[in-house]
Amino acid sequence: MCKVCGWLLSFNVYASIFFITCMSADRCLAIVYPLRSQSQRNLRRARAVSCAVWAAAALPTIPTVVFRDVQYLEELKVMACVVHYPSTGWFVVLTLMKNTVGFLIPFAIIATCYCSIGRHLLGAGPLDEGPANLDRVLTMVVAVVLAFFICWFPFHLLTFLSALSALGALTACWGKWTVDTVIPFALCLGLCNSAVNPFLYCFVGNHFREQLDGLVQAWLPRLSQKTDSISSRLSSFSRKLSDLKDLGSQEPAGQHKGASRSGSKSDLVLDSRVSCV
């Protein structure tokens, strides 16, 4: 369970970062190269890229599965689930790999994509709805890049400082204690980036409120029609049910009258036979 939980956390971190990077590249291709990328941006290609992202996110988590285990900590006198590297060199190399693959390369791609989008929008002239629309789009572009940087930079800075501390470059005791204490909170801040992006993509979008109002206005008539249809069906069903009940209550009376008539006829026949005898 120690290895599984650690692997899931690390896998979630890399997968979220890689998917955000792919979304940035996809948006850049759709806006900057719309005609050229139209044939490439299809469902089959999207599924292939998604599978590649999942596989790429699983590769950096292999050291977590290998080196993470439950060990006894002498200084705390407790058993804990920790990552124990064979040597300081392993820790430094894997930390630098984490900083490069998990932050530097994705941030460079995201910044390049959104800078290309902003440059393309500025070079294309004013949009159909005027400069205010262009300002909103550029604001969202800057907000997405800043959100990624603000959320993930503290965590990777602290992990880099922990590598320097392991090499002996950071000798202050308060520095090592601060790094070890703040890293969990910085990781939580980094994971918040996945929760912030939907608000940036949707709620900061230009026509979100109009689309929401249109969706509500389009949905309410359908809902009322469905409600009227259901109520009419229920009323017709209740009428049919009442008719069946009335019919069922009349059938025994008819049967009783028929029985009485047959009984009277049999009595007449019997009386005639007796009179003949």
Same domain, 188 and 270: no
263/257 Cα distance (integer angstroms): 10
Question: What pLDDT is stored for residue 96 in this prediction?
Answer: 93
Same domain, 277 and 239: yes
Q: Which of 36-40, 209-213, 235-239 has the lowest mean pLDDT?
A: 209-213
Same domain, 33 and 143: yes
206/196 Cα distance (integer angstroms): 17
Q: CB under 8 Å to 180, separation ≥6 — which residues?
A: 162
Residue 203 per-residue DSSP state? I
198-220 pLDDT per residue, tens = 777 766 555 544 544 554 455 55
Q: Which of 84-88, 170-174, 254-258 has the lowest mean pLDDT?
A: 254-258
Question: What pLDDT is stored for residue 81 in this prediction?
Answer: 85
Does 216 reside within a domain?
A: no
The CATH number of whichever domain residue 156 belongs to comes to: 1.20.1070.10
What DSSP string describes 130-174?
A: -HHHHHHHHHHHHHHHHHHHHHHHHHHHHHHHHHHHHHTS---HH
Is pLDDT at 258 greater than 90 in this prediction? no
Task: Please answer whether residues 48 and 2 qualify as being in contact, where contact means their C-beta atoms are separated by less than 8 angstroms.
Answer: no
Give the CA count within 13 Å in the CB-facing half-sphere of 214.
5
Does 213 reside within a domain?
A: no
Same domain, 156 and 245: no
152/187 Cα distance (integer angstroms): 8
Q: Report the pLDDT averaged over residues 179-199.
A: 87
Into how many domains does the chain fold? 2
Is pLDDT at 97 greater than 90 in this prediction? yes
User: 134 is in which domain, residue-wise?
Assistant: 2-206
| More confident position, 206 or 34 | 34
Helix (H) or strand (E) holding 210, with range, is: helix 208-276
Adjacent-strand bridge partners of 80? 71
The helix-helix angle for 131-167 and 88-99 (nearest 10°) equals 170
Does 217 reside within a domain?
A: no
Question: What pLDDT is stored for residue 123 in this prediction?
Answer: 74
Task: Please answer whether residues 151 and 190 qualify as being in contact, where contact means their C-beta atoms are separated by less than 8 angstroms.
Answer: yes
Q: Report the pLDDT averaged over residues 51-55.
A: 95
132-155 pLDDT per residue, tens = 556 666 777 788 888 999 999 999
92/205 Cα distance (integer angstroms): 41
Q: Report the pLDDT averaged over residues 229-238.
A: 56
Same domain, 147 and 245: no
| More confident position, 186 or 130 | 186
Same domain, 171 and 230: no
Q: What is the CA radius of gyration of the chain?
A: 37
| More confident position, 122 or 262 | 122
Question: What pLDDT is stored for residue 105 in this prediction?
Answer: 95
Question: What pLDDT is stored for residue 84 in this prediction?
Answer: 84
Same domain, 168 and 247: no
| More confident position, 275 or 68 | 68
Report the b/e string of 199-235 with b at 16+ CB within 10 A. Answer: ebeeeeeeeeeeeeeeeeeeeeeeeeeeeeeeeeeee
Task: Please answer whether residues 68 and 94 qualify as being in contact, where contact means their C-beta atoms are separated by less than 8 angstroms.
Answer: no
Same domain, 143 and 266: no
Instruction: Give me the percent of the chain exceeding a pLDDT of 90.
Output: 23
Instruction: Tell me what the pLDDT averaged over the chain comes to.
Output: 75
